[in-house]
């Protein structure tokens, strides 16, 4: 059985065993790194920033997985860490440069435009620009639902928000993005 085929429960048991801790940690990274990376990258845009945040996430996983209470899915827990680390990163960037969060968002838009493959005429790039116009929480909801197709129940546990509020937020986000794409 490939390492990544092991269930989360098995991986947790092996992580808590000193002899298999390292291999379990490796498996967890291989299983979730791409999904977590793209979740982070959609928030912070830049690859180097996403790389920094991703590594911080896995360091926290290494330190905290032993105490993981399993009252939520491992995936939910990982996503929560990745979300918090991304938001913390953006917050620190805001403080370092003494700019408002909206300026951080416009900075992210500029980073999108600075990508060597950027093409303003392509819908995929317009979508990325549109996403950066959303407020922080709404952006998160949209990304988790649209790209990761996360069920509202799981999203509610990840973001600690009611399902109804998440649905409303997602619907509003879709409307805003649609309007942005039509007008640009």
Footprint of another protein on this chain (CB under 8 A)?
18-19, 21-22, 26, 29-30, 33-34, 37-38, 41-42, 45, 47, 51, 54-55, 58-59, 62-63, 115-119, 122-125, 127-128, 145-147, 149-152, 163, 167, 171, 174-175, 177-178, 181-182
DSSP per residue, 16-33: TSTTTHHHHHHHHHHHHH
Burial of 161 by CB count in 10 Å (0-12 exposed, 13-18 middle, 19+ buried)?
middle
Q: How many CB atoms lie within 10 A of CB 164?
A: 10
Q: How far is the CB of 160 from another protein (least distance, A)?
A: 19
Farthest-apart Cα atoms in the chain, separation: 58
CB of 125: closest distance to another protein in angstroms?
Answer: 6
Which residues contact residue 5 at a Cβ distance below 8 angstroms, ignoring those fewer than 6 apart? none
Q: Tell me whether residue 51 or residue 161 sits nearer to another protein (CB atom).
A: 51
Two tokens, residue 169: 């937020």
Residue placing its CB nearer to another protein in the complex, 54 or 159: 54
- State in angstroms the smallest separation of the CB of 44 from another protein: 11
Minimum CB distance to another protein smaller for 42 or for 157 = 42
């Amino acid at each position: 059985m490939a390492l990544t085929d092991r269930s989360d429960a098995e991986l947790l048991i092996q992580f808590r065993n000193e002899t298999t801790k390292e291999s379990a940690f490796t498996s967890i990274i291989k299983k979730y790194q791409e999904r977590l990376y793209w979740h982070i990258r959609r928030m912070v845009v830049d690859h180097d920033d996403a790389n920094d945040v991703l590594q911080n996430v896995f360091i926290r996983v290494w330190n905290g997985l032993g105490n993981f209470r399993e009252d939520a899915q491992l995936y939910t827990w990982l996503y929560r860490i990745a979300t918090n680390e991304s938001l913390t990163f953006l917050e620190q960037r805001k403080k370092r440069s003494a700019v408002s969060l909206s300026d951080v968002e416009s900075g992210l838009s500029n980073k999108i435009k600075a990508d060597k493959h950027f093409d303003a005429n392509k819908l995929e790039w317009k979508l990325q620009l549109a996403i950066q116009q959303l407020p922080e929480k709404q952006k998160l909801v949209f990304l988790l639902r649209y790209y990761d197709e996360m069920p509202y129940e799981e999203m509610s546990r990840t973001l600690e928000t009611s399902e109804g509020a998440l649905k409303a937020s997602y619907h509003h986000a879709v409307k805003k993005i649609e309007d942005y794409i039509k007008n640009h």
